[in-house]
Structure 1
């Protein structure tokens, strides 16, 4: 792993620690004399786009205006820390669910325990999204829009290849077999595609979880990486085999991330089986079959619970109005309907089940029921950083033919150093 990864991790965690101190000096301001207020909302590029939801909120809450800023995903944490230092923290933030433990630990998020528990639908909010926003029994963030990684298949290509479009493969072995038949169609057709790079965790970890494996032990100062778990090694080995067999989407350059090209070609109808989130394929969902989660080696399935959390910042200038927006986004039917139209699932799973009108939508909701995610304040450094241990070593295995056990053992050692470093800074 490059030294720059360790340095970035140190800077981000330290920066957020400074931000927490700065928060302590912030004072909250109320609304104007006429009861009107403008609040600032930050969302991440690549997450749920809340523009349509906010317009609906403003219509039903005419005294509150919302200014939305969309921040590039890999710049989000740094810009957030910088905004606190500058005294210009947004009122509400919508962010990648995996970053919740770090933000909660560093005091960037306002505690909302009493308000959250008073929500009429608190008990039916997605438990994984609630749990990751909980620290020492107190709530700091709630899920706002969710998605889970799933397997999808092109029904027309299945039919052309002599496969039953209503009977998808149930294991990784069967996926390879079906991909071979589909790729034999020739032309521009590719048997299989998935996300590469750091996104490979999104579509790869579920297969390991399906086999009973884990990638991290529980969050805390004693947390360890478990990349050498046999189920994790087996999953990465399968991807290596798919790449070597020529069944995985290629790009114009050798050994490059097939993710973006794979999605583009899937939407063109040229990919047989793809692991991705439903929101990407929703515009052409009639062309695809969908599964609940992603299969593992033995026929069971798993899913990475992804999407965005939402929180009021500890330094919000308009905390009451910020909570009003948060409450509306996580509890109203109007918000849930808009989420669904965009391929996302609102956090109230009971309501989501009611709104699901076809098999596609029902499978998305069911996928969230088996979804999980690694919980760590060092998640970005260990897994999301393209120069970090998971991305670097898993790609060497998959795309460059490195020995899986050797590479993942090295990734494990590097990850443990980053985790220890992160927790030593926060003292928790």
Structure 2
């Protein structure tokens, strides 16, 4: 992992609250480049797969704020060979140097990274801040010093390893931890403590998880929040952790001491290991696995028919009204449909499907399917599936559906 990319991601987000989701995704794929898929990215970023899809750019293109480059947005298919997972990467523009750019295009400095490069990094950041007329006109000297110190810390982070201090800092800044979560009613796990939220995570990143003293105005300029938003953030942080924020007086002004390191570094005075738990992420992973298994099952002929006949189908009554059970339907089939248990129906249809051998050679699959012996019945557009009728699904019909799906995947 290149620590310079962490510095670049952080500095490009200064004063830009609108880039928060792209910032979290860029941070995740930089620290964990092996993460892919909308649900995987959502879990490790602490958001939802819908937000990930809305944030990522088009295939082969950039996201709205140019933090991300999308290799592929992924594709869903009932056939495993055709499925693709979303893959995104950080779009780095640190080679571009434009000293007069506004804050929304704030660049990371070209400076050595590591303990030997601390002085050069500090000088480069100060030079950049001072040389940017738009930014330096609205950011205080105290906020500049905090930002420089924070970037010095980020420049030393190169590996997720909790056995050393640097790895512990990087672990604590994982945006998917419960600490930085935005709790909602969909979460299967409710943690006892109030999470700080993603905006607090943004501020912690800019501070390098160091203990800092900032005013409300400083927090405004660093995060891009309004005055009311910055005050609300401080209130939430104080409510979540009574030891995190403390009001201090500096002359005639009021500032706030924010003890990131003391609370969330493993060597901090008030560190508790429970603060870095990830029960929410684990619960989401279990939920995602169940969704993926269900989708894979419903992508098969037997699974799709089971879904249509089950109570899981919100339009089950309409479907059954349009596809009445045949008079000669077996007692077992009638009982399963009446009960509406999707898994029991799937086992029944799957057993019929497995009873018929299916040709697997390309020649056999490319041969035209035999004409159905049953009369077709008009169906609603949403449930339009060829070769479904008012007769009980037979093993031959299920086998034909499965063969057609496999043949389509081989020829497209």
Name the structure where strand makes up a greater proportion of residues. 1
Give the TM-score band, short-chain normalised.
under 0.3
TM-score, length-scaled by structure 1: 0.20
Larger CA Rg, structure 1 vs 2? 2
TM-score, length-scaled by structure 2: 0.21
Question: Which structure exhibits the higher relative contact order, with contacts defined as CA atoms closer than 8 Å and separated by 6 or more residues?
Answer: 1
